[in-house]
Amino acid sequence: MHPGVKPEPLPDLGRRESAAVDRSLRAPPIELSGGGATSAGCTDAERACAYVIAKVRASSGRLFDQGARVPPLASSSHSPVIRFIAERRMHRISNAVVRALLAWADGFPVELLTAVPPPATILALQAEGRRCVSLLPDGTETRPHADVLAFAVHDLCHLDKFIDAEHHRGQVGFFACLHRAVGGRAWTAFERNFDAKFTDDWQHVAADMNGSAVFLFAALKMKLKMAARRRVAAERGGSPDQGGQLTPSEAHAYGDFLQDLLNLLTLHGEIADAARGTSARRDDPLAARTLLRHFEHIGGEVLGGLTTSIAPSSRNVARRRSR
């Protein structure tokens, strides 16, 4: 049984679903399982569904079951606990969480964890086309999230963004480039140019942001720009400006550091020019498309080596598009 999870009966679910939840919660705790069946006969996806069901029921009481989902979301699974997720609405559980659980159940590669992983672990998984979800014991420190359910929901929402068919391949390419860069000695030397906040910032992009690869790269550039601003201010013994355009000295420093970053990410020639022109303002769509094609190409090479289907149900993707 998971620490902190009581195998209490769940009569609201019906006999088959209740038994499936109890069986999933009694499965022995694991650290990494790779999405296969546990020794108790439950898949990791079933355990995740059971965990969410039990936590929502405990926190929401009579509001737990919000009625039938019309129409139900698509899933190839016949597991009662997964069918419950696909066919019933739960209190304060978004469609994004449900889509993520169903994609996991249908074969998307997810690592089930029972602890909070470091950013390096998440980056490494995303660079391979996978992600993790942490099902934490009650009482675990989860700040800034309210509790262990909120932490799991947060992970599942990120999983939903990661598997979005429109952006998945580009994200994998971006994370693969970043993972390759940060694993070398040159990155350690690059990082020494900045304060500890820059480390926190790039790790936030690497482990706690998902979406378009262009958006992710623009966010990384912005983190570097602010780090360069703080570096120049520190050299002058002052405080950095809080906003506005970079000063000439800040812009010069940033330009040098950006070139270093592009080299570390192995972005050269036309791709490097596109990377320089790409920003969160979306003012150079041609540059953004060029950069996106590059990341998608790299992501395609990575994903070409996966044997597990990475595409969530087309029916559920269509639901995402219509939100």
- What is the per-residue pLDDT for 305? 72
State the angle between helix axes of 285-303 and 168-182 in degrees (0 to 180), rounded to the nearest 10. Answer: 80
Tokens of 319: 């639901």
One-letter identity of residue 80: P
User: Do residue 250 and residue 263 come from a single domain?
Assistant: yes
User: Do residue 173 and residue 159 come from a single domain?
Assistant: no
User: Can you give the pTM of this predicted structure?
Assistant: 0.86
| Residue 97 near residue 133, CB atoms below 8 Å | no
Domain end, chosen from 130, 163, 196, is at: 163
- Classify residue 4: in a domain, yes or no: no
Domain end, chosen from 163, 194, 226, is at: 163
Q: Please give the residue range of the domain that contains residue 99.
A: 11-19+29-163
In angstroms, the first-to-last Cα distance of the chain is 37
- Classify residue 257: in a domain, yes or no: yes
- Classify residue 178: in a domain, yes or no: yes
- Classify residue 315: in a domain, yes or no: no
DSSP symbol at 13: G
User: Do residue 139 and residue 220 come from a single domain?
Assistant: no
- Classify residue 158: in a domain, yes or no: yes
**pLDDT 10s per residue in the chain (323 long)?**
333 333 333 334 556 666 656 655 554 433 333 344 443 579 999 999 999 999 999 999 999 999 999 999 999 999 999 999 999 999 999 999 999 999 999 999 999 999 999 999 999 999 999 999 999 999 999 999 999 999 999 999 999 999 999 999 999 999 999 999 999 999 999 999 999 999 999 999 999 999 999 999 999 999 999 999 999 999 999 888 777 899 999 999 999 999 999 999 999 999 999 999 998 888 899 999 999 999 999 999 999 976 544 544 544 754 554 44
- What is the per-residue pLDDT for 240? 80
- Classify residue 5: in a domain, yes or no: no
- What is the per-residue pLDDT for 25? 52
Tokens of 241: 């400006």
Domain end, chosen from 123, 143, 163, is at: 163
User: Do residue 41 and residue 131 come from a single domain?
Assistant: yes
CA quadruple 162, 167, 169, 172: dihedral, nearest 10: -50
Residue whose C-alpha is closest to residue 272's, from 255, 291, 286: 291
- What is the per-residue pLDDT for 189? 98
Task: Say how many domains are in the chain.
Answer: 2
User: Do residue 116 and residue 133 come from a single domain?
Assistant: yes
User: Do residue 149 and residue 204 come from a single domain?
Assistant: no
| Residue 110 near residue 44, CB atoms below 8 Å | yes
Tokens of 221: 């550039």
User: Do residue 145 and residue 177 come from a single domain?
Assistant: no
- What is the per-residue pLDDT for 314? 41
- What is the per-residue pLDDT for 79? 95
User: Do residue 178 and residue 285 come from a single domain?
Assistant: yes
- What is the per-residue pLDDT for 18? 65
Tell me how far apart the alpha carbons of residues 323 and 314 are, in angstroms, rounded to a whole number. Answer: 15
- What is the per-residue pLDDT for 15? 61
- What is the per-residue pLDDT for 29? 39
User: Do residue 148 and residue 172 come from a single domain?
Assistant: no
User: Do residue 92 and residue 146 come from a single domain?
Assistant: yes
User: Do residue 91 and residue 48 come from a single domain?
Assistant: yes
User: Do residue 46 and residue 74 come from a single domain?
Assistant: yes
